[in-house]
Amino acid sequence: MSADFNRTLCARTIGTKTDMQPYRNLSGKSGVAAFEIGDDFVKVLFRDNPRVYVYSTPPIAIAKIEQMKGLALVGRGLATFISRNSDVRAGFS
């Protein structure tokens, strides 16, 4: 992922990296480095950006948060899902 892509992501940038799990990156091409899952959020750390992005409900629908959790646990498709869903990219409060 390019630095420009990460700069356009709209998400809260709170939290720390200490509780994050390494992303498996099964495709070998993901920009995601690590993640953390909570009841109503997914925190994502991208490889070329030191910020932790927090995607949460509201405003993101819980169904999409659940999809993100599944993708994070599998280790494939999380960055693509974020980039293809404008409501997720813009999901910050």
3-state secondary structure of 53: strand
Contact status, residue 53 vs residue 43, Cβ threshold 8 Å: yes
> 46: pLDDT confidence band, cut at 50, 70 and 90?
very high
Summarize the confidence of residues 29-41 as an average pLDDT.
Answer: 95
Verdict on whether the full-model pTM lies above 0.85? no
Output the pLDDT for position 17.
58
Q: Strands of 32-37's sheet, edge to edge?
A: 21-22, 32-37, 41-46, 52-56
Contacts of 58 (CB under 8 A, 6+ apart): 93
Interior CA angle at 33 toward 29 and 36, to 5°? 130
Contacts of 71 (CB under 8 A, 6+ apart): 77, 78, 81
